[in-house]
């Protein structure tokens, strides 16, 4: 009987290599980036989402407030992982060193960053509920909270926290009408005050600057006007020699030709002519700084409404924004956007009439894009199939099968014999 007391060198190398790799987490772990100034009483809580009402994870610190989590992840096309290693530590001379620790790898490169959220978005569903609004009366904050039977225990922990009570009451006063009743304050939800608070938040967002992606998509593209005319300069030189006192004369003609697309500006010109220069139509309404500012505020308001307000409350806010009592007037912005839409319609109509070289409309372009996308997807699928094929299958495909019968021919029914 033969026994093997020592593993082959290849197996030993594999075992040593695997032992050196950091262990991977068996369960999908999550990486949170939390505020460093949080107190020891900070906790993870399940609070109702202000927009949908579903329970989501939040981070609550009585000293700092409520935080939501913004997910930062790698795209699905290029998955990544994260390696966590302990901080290197060099012991002082004569000090006993720490035991070596191992790192770990997360298979999903995802960071959950804690970002502050105003607590008024959690209070608005309670303050403007049908029970309290139907009465239309001033009530103490504790009575308003106690009248809600379906409040989750985690939200009650936030609302009844003694350390957070002063901050909570200050935020309630910002969106409610209040009266003094002895030593107690009573509140009633005010839609006008809530709208002013939203507008103030939007103005602060604009003052700090919108993200570059939002600025490009919702501001610059919305205010961009089409090219309505092109100015082309033709330069010709006529040399006339009369006498020593007369020099050469030059004449320059400027012609203005209509154009609708940028492609017409790159049309070929005869030699001796200058490169065509684009010129915006004199009727083009240039976007003023006020219009751009109003559009940024409107974009910030739309972001907050879509992220933190319910559908019913969004409708009320939109009605207040269009009313006479609105704290901000968006009429100049709407008028400018309407004029830009008219210019784009005119440019599209003139292009369809004047550009005979391209007769495809928007539907044809979409169809071409769909066909290109389908072709690209088909090529990717074929490429994946080729990668998954074994070497034997690839070699069989290279065999010359000219003159050979197919396998199905052997299983076909034989033709009936003719009677002689």
* C-alpha–C-alpha distance, residues 196 and 120, integer Å: 13
**Distant-in-sequence, close-in-space partners of 102: CB < 8 Å, separation ≥ 6:** 22, 23
Same domain, residue pair 183 and 202: no
Give the contacts of 71 (CB within 8 A, at least 6 positions apart).
Answer: 110, 111, 112
Domain that includes residue 323, residue range: 191-224+287-350
C-alpha 21: how far from its chain's center?
Answer: 36
Q: Is the pLDDT of residue 273 over 60?
A: no
190 vs 267, more confident: 190
pLDDT, position 420? 54
> Is the domain of 203 the same as that of 214?
yes
pLDDT for res 240: 41
Question: Is residue 149 situated within a structural domain?
Answer: yes
- Residue 341 CB-half CA count within 13 A: 6
| Residues 213, 143 share a domain | no
- Residue 410 DSSP label: G
Domain boundary among 171, 189, 207: 189
Q: How does strand 249-258 pair with strand 229-238?
A: antiparallel
Domain end, chosen from 189, 209, 234, is at 189
Q: Is the pLDDT of residue 89 over 60?
A: yes
Is 7 part of any domain? no
Q: Which of 19-23, 54-58, 412-416 has the highest mean pLDDT?
A: 54-58
Short-list 118, 309, 297, CA closest to 214: 297
Per-residue pLDDT band for 146 (boundaries 50, 70, 90) equals confident
Cα–Cα separations (whole angstroms), residue 318 to 71, 85, 311: 29, 51, 11
Determine the pLDDT at residue 257. Answer: 39
The H or E element spanning position 14 is helix 9-20
Q: Is residue 372 part of a domain?
A: no
pLDDT at 105 over 60: yes
Ramachandran category for residue 209: left, alpha or beta (phi over 0 → left; psi -120 to 50 → alpha):
left
pLDDT in tens, 169-205: 999 999 999 888 878 888 889 899 999 999 999 999 9
Edge to edge, the sheet with strand 31-33 lists: 31-33, 110-117, 65-73, 55-61, 43-48
What percent of the chain lies above the pLDDT cut of 90?
Answer: 31
Residue 124 is assigned to a structural domain of this protein: yes
- Please report which confidence band the pLDDT of residue 304 belongs to, taking 50, 70 and 90 as the band edges: very high
Give mean pLDDT, residues 139-152.
Answer: 86
Using DSSP, state whether 95 is helix, strand or coil: coil
Q: How confident is the model at residue 365 (pLDDT cuts 50, 70, 90)?
A: low
Count, residues in the chain: 420
70 and 112 in contact (C-beta within 8 Å)?
Answer: yes
Q: Decide: 37 and 77 in contact? Cβ < 8 Å.
A: no
Put the strands of the sheet holding 277-279 in their side by side order. 249-258, 229-238, 277-279
| Least confident span in 149-158, 179-188, 202-211, 289-298 | 179-188
How much is the average pLDDT of 316-321? Answer: 92
The partner residues of 208 in beta bridges, in order of sequence, read none
Q: Residue 145: name the closest of 163, 132, 162 by CA.
A: 132
For residue 263, pLDDT beyond 90: no
For residue 163, name the pLDDT band (cuts at 50, 70, 90): very high
Residue 64 has pLDDT above 90, yes or no: yes
pLDDT greater at residue 273 or residue 331: 331
> Last residue of a domain, which of 310, 334, 350?
350
């Amino acid at each position: 009987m033969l026994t093997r007391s020592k593993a082959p060198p290849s197996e030993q190398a594999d075992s040593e290599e695997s032992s050196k790799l950091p262990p991977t987490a068996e369960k999908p772990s999550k990486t949170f980036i939390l505020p460093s100034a949080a107190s020891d009483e900070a906790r993870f809580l399940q609070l109702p989402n202000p927009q949908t009402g579903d329970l989501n994870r939040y981070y609550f610190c009585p000293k700092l407030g409520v935080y939501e989590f913004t997910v930062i992840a790698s795209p699905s096309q290029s998955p990544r992982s994260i390696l966590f290693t302990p901080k290197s530590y060099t012991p002082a001379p004569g000090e006993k060193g720490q035991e070596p620790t191992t790192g770990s790898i997360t298979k999903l490169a995802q960071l959950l960053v804690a970002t502050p959220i105003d607590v008024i978005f959690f209070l608005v569903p309670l303050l403007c509920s049908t029970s309290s609004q139907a009465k239309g009366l001033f009530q103490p904050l504790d009575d308003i909270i106690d009248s809600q039977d379906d409040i989750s225990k985690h939200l009650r922990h936030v609302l009844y926290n003694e350390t957070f009570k002063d901050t909570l009451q200050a935020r309630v006063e910002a969106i409610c009408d209040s009266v003094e009743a002895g030593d107690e304050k009573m509140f009633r939800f005010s839609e006008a005050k809530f709208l002013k608070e939203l507008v103030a938040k939007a103005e602060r967002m604009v003052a700090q600057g919108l993200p570059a992606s939002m600025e490009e998509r919702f501001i610059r593209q919305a205010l961009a006007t089409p090219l309505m005319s092109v100015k082309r300069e033709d330069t010709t030189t006529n040399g006339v020699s009369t006498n020593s006192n007369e020099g050469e004369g030059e004449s320059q003609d400027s012609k203005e030709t209509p154009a609708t697309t940028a492609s017409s500006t790159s049309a070929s010109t005869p030699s001796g002519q200058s490169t065509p220069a684009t010129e915006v139509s004199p009727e083009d309404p240039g976007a003023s700084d006020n219009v751009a500012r109003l559009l940024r505020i409107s974009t910030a308001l739309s972001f907050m409404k879509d992220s933190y307000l319910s559908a019913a409350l969004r409708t009320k806010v939109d009605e207040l924004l269009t009313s006479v009592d609105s704290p901000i007037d968006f009429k100049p912005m709407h008028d400018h956007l309407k004029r830009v839409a008219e210019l784009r319609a005119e440019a599209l109509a003139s292009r369809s009439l004047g550009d005979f070289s391209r007769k495809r409309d928007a539907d044809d372009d979409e169809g071409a894009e769909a066909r290109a996308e389908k072709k690209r997807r088909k090529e990717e699928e074929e490429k994946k199939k080729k990668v998954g094929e074994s070497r034997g299958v690839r070699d069989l495909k290279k065999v010359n099968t000219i003159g050979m019968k197919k396998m199905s021919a052997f299983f076909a029914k034989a033709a009936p014999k003719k009677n002689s």
